[in-house]
Structure 1
Amino acid sequence: MGQTINIETIMGLIIHGGNAKSDAMEAIHAAKTDNFALAAEKLDAADKSLVEAHHAQTSLLTQEASGEELTVSLLAVHSQDHLMNAITFRDMASEVVDVYKKLAGVSLD
């Protein structure tokens, strides 16, 4: 039986993924009110949270790639699911912000 994945790593994935998704949603809400500066700030914040989540994920991948046998729990699977949903949501939020910019006659960067 392998080493159990560190709970702090799992929670880091969940927390940072959740923060990224929340910031992406806030970006959409800001764009709805034509506050594109705030939308950009929120997308940047989402990106920073995703970077932090990727650091946690990379540590797990490095452990396994170096030959450590890891025991995967349901919570670990949930954390990966949470992260992937956050990445997808962040990507879609960027597209939605661009649509609101276009509707407002703002040039797309």
Structure 2
Amino acid sequence: MTSEQVAQDAMQIILHAGEARKYCTDALKDIEKSDFAAAKEKMKLANSEIVIAHRVQTNCIQKETEGEQGEYSVLFAHAQDTLMTVYSEINLAKRLIEIFESFNERLTQLEKINK
């Protein structure tokens, strides 16, 4: 792979991981408003973007395993770091939806009991 191709792939990973992060952040804002349906929709969009970023990375790795040597790139290393960080953010946001949905249900039931 040429250094230009490595840079293009890195930018694609960063672009799609960045979009996934944006949707994830928007989902967290929806959680704050107890709008869990909207949060789940945003997480679906985040997942779609992270899958695209992951495919680009996987294609690069496959090329290298097939003998197509690429040059080391700080930009590509940054892209991979961004990808993995956003994966973690997505996993945490999904878990937060579950936690806050459960909390909200329990709170609603307590409010019914106390009426």
**Fold similarity call, TM over 0.5:** yes
Q: How does 1:19-98 map to 2 (within 5 A)?
A: 19-98=19-98
Higher Rg = 2
Residue 55 of structure 1: how far off its partner (Å) = 1.4
Please give the per-residue CA displacement for 1:66-93, whole angstroms capped at 9, x wherever unaligned. Answer: 0011102111110000000010100000
Provide the residue aligned with 2:110 in structure 1.
Answer: none
Distance 1:84 1:5 in 2: 23
Q: Gapped runs of 5+ residues in structure 1?
A: none
Provide the residue aligned with 2:112 in structure 1.
Answer: none
Identity %, equivalent residues: 27
Contact kept? 1:10, 1:75, Cα under 8 Å: yes
Residue 4 of structure 1: how far off its partner (Å) = 2.1
Q: Gapped runs of 5+ residues in structure 2?
A: 107-115
Q: CA RMSD in A?
A: 1.5
Please identify which structure carries the higher helix content.
Answer: 2
Equivalenced residues, count: 105
| 1:87–1:45 Cα change, 3 Å | same
